[in-house]
Structure 1
């Protein structure tokens, strides 16, 4: 029954992200975050009140737990758009946020230590509720009403006037120099026809560029049916099943290693030893969840690799060179941002899949001490595959599709994870607690995860040929996403 409850709870938690993603794409992350922080604060308050008189107020605990889960997933999901504020460092910030979410169970140990030190439980809950109110206040004051656009999307407002080059925009750094230089080049080319004309011609040019990009915007159906998204569903579903099954069946697998080891009979002393050993290893596994926060920046750095040195078009490279050095290096072949993001995603998913295969191999080896390595690999995979998928979606899909696609992917992965319960029942039933054949099947299925980076490799080759043609012939900006 506990395994069934764990399965249903995991499914509901993941399935909730789909309606949240749709609402977030429609109304932005701010309303979602406000509702989430208010729900979380209310849950902590109800828990504190219920603890004052558990016999009378115990029904409030069920409402408090429901609000706690709903508020937590709202806060987590709405935070996934925040990394767009950090430009090329966005994937690293996203990895840190996913790592903090994956390692959040460690806070239970901190709360337990505070409680054991003599702090009343009511005080702890009201303090937590106050912190949630601070999150609500921060969101109300600082978060924008719309989603944070990706740096390469043409959704920033740019007004560049001729007189004094007055600027009203949100573009900084390299992209600022690029826009200003392009405007200067256009003004110098059109100077004879602009004498005596004080209108904002450069602003019109930039506005026309934004309109062209908007015309090439990708429909949601195209993003939904793209091979990248479909292959990611398979990869994430298989990985989710592998990770969730181990979390649900870990105690039984450890017990099988200690108690039976293939024997049909067991003694009372051996059973007691098994309980103590399983408790110790479960504690170590819980503490190791903190590794998610420490290892997730690695996958973020992989997704960020050399993004700052990339451009969107050859014209941008020429303009950037003019702005910085005064000399255009027109013979240099540019490094395109989209291709580099695909390269980084290939590296991230390949590394994650190798770790997943290594994790599956260690599960097959009947060695109790080797389980420490299994814990480390499980923790790394658990943090890596969410970060890699989020970085991939942010790289190849429009911002206004991110929430819905991520929510749909989470729902499909949750459906895959439902298979862990029949696998668990098969392990404790016909297989008599031996997880070997279940682990063999999961190891073979995890090899399907290499199909996504394989397709990304093929798609990157197509883009390289297309950009090579653009470099040799007329310059053509890759405005749309042809996935």
Structure 2
């Protein structure tokens, strides 16, 4: 029926658009930490850790203890953001979209309320607040990525677009900083964020399925509430009559074409292990950069507040471009869609082959970003900000897209959560790195930056391993074709 098809297209378009807004405006706000720190310092959070020290030129205020505390808040929040993605992945795979989102909305709302009612006296509230914001935000992203299944050949592009929007949402704290400078209190801004939870609840019940959006998408699939009624997908017989009703199912579970690998087999595979290394080394580089951006700018500007504020604003503005950069990666991964494949080549093999270039470019971008960030020249940091946002968009969008194409979709939540959780353990190295810079290296991060740049080179092993895996599959396919031809 044309009317029903039109309403389905409208609903899917609204689901996509509102999901993009949700990821863009809320999900990854915690990664705009540098902008929020500027406000928190002005408000006097952890100011009791600043001490007067005697220097040759007189007495100066040493706030390294305050910087360390802010760095610890971000380290714990970024760790929780990744590590708790594993149980959240199990929660999503087991109970579906509605339960996972309600849990995420609860955590996010509690986090915003804690920041709203914190103060310089209650600075300690930042530790649970930022962690709750991070975990709730990643649940928004996780439950929205399945929207890509509604759009078939553009699946990877939409997944990477949502991840780019997640990165760009770090600009939310820049908006809060600008509002603060114009006279809007920190409490008022976070109370408004808390009130926005009503919007998240409406999306959950109206524009998203109770369980999952399947892939491939069944014909006539419906979800959520349409014209006030909750509908389920129907399988239509050849004569046009509705024969049976199919429950909403997880990705690809409705078409058991072959025996899928178990979760354990996927977790212990070489593809997953090298993907974990690929994500971990680059993520550590980004986390350390974000967590130390404020003190780094303090050092390069010699503590000039207006100059620090200008560069922090420039960094936050570049984060908005994440949503524009991420789809490039999706287009690279989807570029083979619609083109004829090699004889006997499956869509899975074609997807893997297309991912090699994406993985390689992401590793290359990280090395360039790390070299630029390691150079102690203030104007060069504008280029660093650009490289950072491009690489971060490619990194997280490519991470989700690769997992969705390399492994069975029924394990997506668990594997996505697993790789994020394991990489989070590795990212804990950012705090000892920060302590090393502030302590033994007297504030000079040069040697730590060089070490991280060298470590980033490990990321190139992953695209090489995927390329060799594709070659192996192609070789096996050729042997199979030769064998079947000779038998005839």
Q: What is the TM-score of this pair, normalised by structure 1?
A: 0.72
CA gap of 1:33–1:281, structure 2 versus 1, over 3 A, is same
Which residue of the other structure, out of 286, 295, 314, is the alignment partner of 1:252? Answer: 295
Q: How does 1:167-178 map to 2 (within 5 A)?
A: none
Q: How many residues end up aligned between the 2 structures? A: 399
CA gap of 1:220–1:59, structure 2 versus 1, over 3 A, is closer
2:153 maps to 1:85: no
Structure 2, unpaired ranges of 5+ = 1-68, 222-232, 247-252
CA contact (8 A) 2:348 2:406 kept: yes
Distance apart, 1:255 and its partner CA: 3.8
Corresponding position of 1:392: 402
Distance apart, 1:427 and its partner CA: 1.7
Q: How does 1:221-240 map to 2 (within 5 A)?
A: 221-240=264-283
CA contact (8 A) 2:77 2:127 kept: no
Corresponding position of 1:21: 89
2:209 maps to 1:144: yes
**Worse overlay, 116-125 or 279-288:** 116-125
Distance apart, 1:79 and its partner CA: 1.8
- Partner secondary structure for residue 103 of structure 1: helix
2:309 maps to 1:309: no
**Worse overlay, 99-108 or 113-122:** 113-122
2:285 maps to 1:242: yes
- Once residues 245 and 55 of structure 1 are traced to their aligned partners in structure 2, the CA distance between those partners, rounded to angstroms, is 25
- Once residues 243 and 200 of structure 2 are traced to their aligned partners in structure 1, the CA distance between those partners, rounded to angstroms, is 30
CA contact (8 A) 1:38 1:136 kept: no
Corresponding position of 1:479: none
- Once residues 80 and 460 of structure 1 are traced to their aligned partners in structure 2, the CA distance between those partners, rounded to angstroms, is 26
Corresponding position of 2:139: 74
Which residue of the other structure, out of 431, 438, 455, is the alignment partner of 1:445? Answer: 455
CA contact (8 A) 1:43 1:68 kept: yes
Which residue of the other structure, out of 163, 166, 173, is the alignment partner of 1:108? Answer: 173
CA contact (8 A) 1:310 1:334 kept: no
Distance apart, 1:426 and its partner CA: 1.7
Q: How does 1:2-17 map to 2 (within 5 A)?
A: 2-17=70-85
- Once residues 23 and 333 of structure 1 are traced to their aligned partners in structure 2, the CA distance between those partners, rounded to angstroms, is 40
- Once residues 385 and 202 of structure 2 are traced to their aligned partners in structure 1, the CA distance between those partners, rounded to angstroms, is 38
Distance apart, 1:243 and its partner CA: 0.8
CA contact (8 A) 2:77 2:134 kept: no
Which residue of the other structure, out of 318, 324, 327, is the alignment partner of 1:288? Answer: 318
- Once residues 131 and 379 of structure 2 are traced to their aligned partners in structure 1, the CA distance between those partners, rounded to angstroms, is 38
2:366 maps to 1:356: yes
Larger Rg: 1
CA contact (8 A) 2:77 2:130 kept: no
Structure 1, unpaired ranges of 5+ = 172-206, 259-270, 312-331, 476-483
CA gap of 1:15–1:338, structure 2 versus 1, over 3 A, is same
Tell which has more relative contact order, 1 or 2 (C-alpha 8 A, sep 6+). Answer: 1
Corresponding position of 1:36: 104
Distance apart, 1:84 and its partner CA: 2.0
Corresponding position of 1:199: none
CA gap of 1:106–1:430, structure 2 versus 1, over 3 A, is same
2:365 maps to 1:297: no
2:257 maps to 1:219: no
RMSD: 3.6
Distance apart, 1:5 and its partner CA: 2.4
Q: What is the TM-score of this pair, normalised by structure 2?
A: 0.72
CA gap of 1:473–1:142, structure 2 versus 1, over 3 A, is farther
- Once residues 345 and 170 of structure 1 are traced to their aligned partners in structure 2, the CA distance between those partners, rounded to angstroms, is 36
